[in-house]
Amino acid sequence: MKVMILDIGEKVHIIERRLFNDDARRHFVGEVIRCTETSIRVAGYDWAIETIRGFVRKPEKKERVVIFNEGLIINVIPREVNIDDVQYKINEQRNQVVTDGKNFSLDITEFTVK
């Protein structure tokens, strides 16, 4: 019996681990549209860090195929989160969070520090 780790319709926040200090900090926020035991197809937005503005969402929505590997950190976020509302902010404790500005907030400080 095949067991899927994620379900269609689940929302995810994906962090690609950097191998070197100079590697780009790439994140993706999206919704699972297909999955297998080894990969997922997600629709959503790429996020990249800019020196001045911090994390910035790329304007175009895209589909990506993500192969599960040890270089990924995949956070499952609540289904009710609208991925169009997701933004990166610094909270009152000076931590980097991913939030929808409503009920969802995910502290990702440990993955953004140099």
30 bridge partner residues: 12, 44
**Span 25-81, pLDDT tens digits:** 689 999 999 999 899 999 999 998 877 778 889 999 999 999 998 888 999 999 999
Please, are residues 100 and 86 in contact by the beta-carbon 8 Å criterion?
A: yes
Q: Which three-class secondary structure state does DSSP give residue 43? A: strand
Q: Which two tokens stand for residue 41?
A: 């197809």
Domains in the chain: boundaries? 11-111
* C-beta of residue 88 within 8 angstroms of C-beta of residue 97: yes
Model confidence at 114: pLDDT above 80: no
Q: Is the pLDDT of residue 87 over 60?
A: yes
- Residue 57 token pair: 């969402």
Structure confidence at residue 5 (pLDDT):
84
Given a contact cutoff of 8 angstroms between Cβ atoms, the answer to whether 96 and 107 are in contact is yes
pLDDT at 110 over 80: no
